[in-house]
Structure 1
Amino acid sequence: MSELTLDAHKRTEQGTGASRRLRRQGQVPAILYGGGEESLAITLSHDQLVKAQELESFFSQVIKLNLDGKPVPVIVKAMQRHPFKPKVTHIDLMRVSGDAAVTATVPIHFVNEDSSAGVKAGGSVTHHLTELELRCLPRDLPEYIEVDVQTLDTGDTLHLSDLSLPAGVESVALSKGEDFDLAVITISPPRGGEAESDTEDESPQDSE
Structure 2
Amino acid sequence: MSQSYELKAEARDRVGKGSARELRRNGKVPAVIYGDKQPPLAIALGYKDVYYKIHGGGFMTTIATIDVDGKKIQVLPKEYQLDPVRDFPVHVDFLRVSANTLVTVQIPVHFVNEEKSAGIKRGGVLNVVRHEIEAHVPANAIPDFIEVDLAGTDLGDSIHISAVKLPKDVKPTITDRDFTIATIAAPAGLKSEESEAAAEEGEE
Give the TM-score band, short-chain normalised. Answer: 0.7 to 0.9
Task: Give 1:154-193 correspondences, 5 Å limit.
Answer: 154-174=155-175, 177-178=176-177, 181-192=178-189, 193=191
Alignment match, 2:129:
128
Aligned residue identity for 1:189:
A
Alignment match, 2:29:
28
How many angstroms apart in 2 are the aligned matches of 1:14 and 1:6?
20
- Secondary structure of the 1:98 match is coil
Task: Give 1:11-160 correspondences, 5 Å limit.
Answer: 11-113=12-114, 115-160=116-161
Aligned residue identity for 1:185:
A
Q: Contact 2:98/2:140 (CA < 8 Å) preserved in 1? A: no
How many angstroms apart in 2 are the aligned matches of 1:185 and 1:127?
4
Aligned residue identity for 2:135:
L
Alignment match, 1:205:
none
- Secondary structure of the 2:23 match is helix
How many angstroms apart in 1 are the aligned matches of 2:106 and 2:35?
18
* Per-residue deviation, 1:151: 2.2
Unaligned stretches of 5+ residues in structure 1 = 203-208
Q: Contact 1:124/1:189 (CA < 8 Å) preserved in 2? A: yes
Identity %: 35
How many angstroms apart in 2 are the aligned matches of 1:110 and 1:56?
18
Closer, same or farther: CA 72–26 of 1 in aligned 2, 3 Å: same
- Secondary structure of the 2:13 match is coil
Q: Contact 1:100/1:137 (CA < 8 Å) preserved in 2? A: yes
Q: Contact 2:149/2:164 (CA < 8 Å) preserved in 1? A: no
* Per-residue deviation, 1:195: 4.4
How many angstroms apart in 2 are the aligned matches of 1:119 and 1:169?
29
Unaligned stretches of 5+ residues in structure 2 = none
Closer, same or farther: CA 56–148 of 1 in aligned 2, 3 Å: farther
* Per-residue deviation, 1:85: 0.7
Q: RMSD in angstroms over aligned alpha carbons?
A: 2.1
How many angstroms apart in 2 are the aligned matches of 1:163 and 1:56?
24
How many angstroms apart in 2 are the aligned matches of 1:166 and 1:54?
26
How many angstroms apart in 2 are the aligned matches of 1:152 and 1:165?
19
Name the structure with the higher helix share.
Answer: 2
* Per-residue deviation, 1:32: 0.8
How many angstroms apart in 2 are the aligned matches of 1:79 and 1:170?
24
Aligned residue identity for 1:99:
N
* Per-residue deviation, 1:94: 0.3
Q: Deviation per CA, 1:76-99, whole angstroms, max 9, x where unpaired?
A: 111111112130111110001112
Q: Contact 2:33/2:41 (CA < 8 Å) preserved in 1? A: yes
Task: Give the aligned length.
Answer: 195
How many angstroms apart in 2 are the aligned matches of 1:65 and 1:161?
38
Is the radius of gyration larger for structure 1 or structure 2? 1
